[in-house]
Structure 1
Amino acid sequence: MRFCLLLAGVTAFAQQLNFVACPVVRDTKTVPCFLAEYEGELYYLGIQQDITSDFHPPQLKHEVLVEGTVAAGPRVCGGIPLKPLSISVIKEVNLACNTLLPAEPGIEAPPAARGAGPATHPLDISSAKPKELTGPQEFTILYSFNDDFLEYAGNRVVNEAIDYAKRTGASSVKVTGYRESTVLSNGTRLVEKDAIAEKRAENIAALLRGSGVSGVSISSKDEPESGPAARRVAVVVTP
């Protein structure tokens, strides 16, 4: 019996979870923690930091699409950690999503590179020297579900594509936007809106052209694969 229980605990880790839920904000002595409840269990999403962080907090009064893998290790801020993790804010308003939990003794936020608020002293993101690129290169910009908003990390990738296209005098720059569908853990399939792939591609192409990159072409596709990595724009730069 003990072996069976241990085995059940092991298989729970690395389990993929995709669900839509209201975010929960837990106060702490340092920064707010963001959690989400699914099937009676709390899952840790992240903490509030600045725009340079990989994690962008969900919003109260909006549900959030959570796509993550259950990670081994202790609870974080009272919730089971998910890693890797992707979250997408659902645009429709849900006034029921307004849960705020008070700070509790013994429940602390994990260390933050910097606190929440304006990035008056932004994180140093340029310490690692990028490798020298040659030949055709693909630059991938990721998106939240059903969204064409270009986040901070995506903007960096676009700038890398612009720099490479200009440095090599690119003969062609192909921009392809993708639309995907996500299957939730309860079997429900969420499909992105029809025009989202074109919109994503058009936005990126406009940035490239506006920066002086020529030879830009656009296409869009439905992605048969599901998941955060499928919601993307691929920019292929050929010298």
Structure 2
Amino acid sequence: MKRLLQAALLAAVNTAVLAAPSPGTRLSFVACPIIRDTRSVPCWLSEYEGQLYYLTIQSDVSAPVQPPMLGHQVLVEGVVSDAAPICGGVVLSEVNLSVMPERDANCNTLLPADERYVIDFNPRPPGPSSGRLAFGGQARAGGVEPDRPRRQAAPPSGEQMIDIHFDFDRGVSFRHPSDLSGVLARARQVDARQARVIGHRGAHRLSNGTLLRESENIAQRRADEIASLLAGAGLTIPIQKEVRDTVDEADGFEDWRSRRVTVVLTP
């Protein structure tokens, strides 16, 4: 019986790409992630309303889209693309993934490698990175572009506002050190004399109309964590913490931006 169920699931996943929404359709849903093995690097998928979607590949902390994890549902936000399917799934552009905090034992599907699906844009070979991050260049749909010379930007001046974004109902994670480094660098550039760390509580509107609200204490937790980490990293100016617990009505358009801490640097 178990083998029959596994075969049925595999067949359903392999035939899910049938009638995707038209390109440009914005989607937002919560579902279990699915990981599919390939000869080069695993890819992550998820199914919504009978349609299979490609999310991202397995990579490291430098990836512009952090992969989900088994054992948790994932909040998916993205726009249906007209790109060719990847790993058997419709490609989403402008994709943002947020691992939901609650454990879900049903989210444990791992599919074997299928010769039809090949990942030919893996940024680095499999195995340990040896200190090399996968995404040294600029990410693009389905791969990564090499670094290109950039025009020297004018140095920042005046008051600076920097947003640091978070997964749904979560605080600081392993992907935030680069954000904190950016705040420290900006503070030095403008010779900041004080900082305000403003924690926000977010909300999210799913495609089916469901409204998700973060927990009431999440804004305080984020402000406390960011302020503490900045001070511990060497930001010696006075840091004032503020909390915005009110939740605006989400509309399903880039709602991930509401899950944030805003750091205001004043020279």
Instruction: Settle same-fold status: TM greater than 0.5.
Output: yes
| Structure 2 residues without counterparts, runs of 5 or longer | 1-18, 138-146
Is 1:122 the counterpart of 2:150 in the alignment? no
Residue aligning to 1:144: 167
Normalising by the residue count of structure 1, what TM-score does the alignment of the two structures yield? Answer: 0.88
Runs of 4+ in structure 1 over 6 Å off? none
Normalising by the residue count of structure 2, what TM-score does the alignment of the two structures yield? Answer: 0.79
**Structure 1 stretch displaced more, 83-92 or 33-42:** 83-92
Offset from partner CA, 1:66-113 (integer Å, 9 cap, x none): 111111221111101111011111222211111111222221125121
Residue aligning to 1:111: 121
Equivalent position amino acid for 2:264 in 1: V
Indicate if the aligned counterparts of 2:187 and 2:265 stay in contact, CA closer than 8 A.
yes
Change (3 A) 1:198 1:118: farther
Equivalent position amino acid for 2:133 in 1: P
Is 1:24 the counterpart of 2:34 in the alignment? yes
Indicate if the aligned counterparts of 1:67 and 1:86 stay in contact, CA closer than 8 A.
yes
1:65-76 alignment to 2 at 5 Å?
65-76=75-86
**In 2, distance between residues paired with 1:231 and 1:109?**
32
Residue from 35, 43, 59 that aligns with 2:45: 35
Change (3 A) 1:150 1:60: closer
Residue aligning to 1:191: 213
Residue from 156, 164, 167 that aligns with 1:133: 156
Change (3 A) 1:10 1:88: closer
Indicate if the aligned counterparts of 2:34 and 2:111 stay in contact, CA closer than 8 A.
yes
Root mean square deviation of aligned Cα:
2.2
Change (3 A) 1:32 1:130: farther
Change (3 A) 1:165 1:180: same
TM-superposed CA distance for 1:231, in Å, is: 0.8
Equivalent position amino acid for 2:261 in 1: V
Number of residue pairs matched by the alignment: 230
Change (3 A) 1:115 1:141: farther
Change (3 A) 1:110 1:44: farther
Indicate if the aligned counterparts of 1:35 and 1:45 stay in contact, CA closer than 8 A.
yes
Indicate if the aligned counterparts of 2:192 and 2:266 stay in contact, CA closer than 8 A.
yes
Residue from 184, 188, 195 that aligns with 1:173: 195
Residue aligning to 2:264: 236
TM-superposed CA distance for 1:115, in Å, is: 4.0
**In 2, distance between residues paired with 1:171 and 1:112?**
44
**In 2, distance between residues paired with 1:62 and 1:51?**
19
Change (3 A) 1:137 1:49: same
**In 2, distance between residues paired with 1:91 and 1:116?**
28
**In 2, distance between residues paired with 1:110 and 1:130?**
34
| Structure 1 residues without counterparts, runs of 5 or longer | 1-8
**Structure 1 stretch displaced more, 129-138 or 116-125:** 116-125
Is 1:224 the counterpart of 2:248 in the alignment? yes
Offset from partner CA, 1:186-215 (integer Å, 9 cap, x none): 111111111111111111111222213312
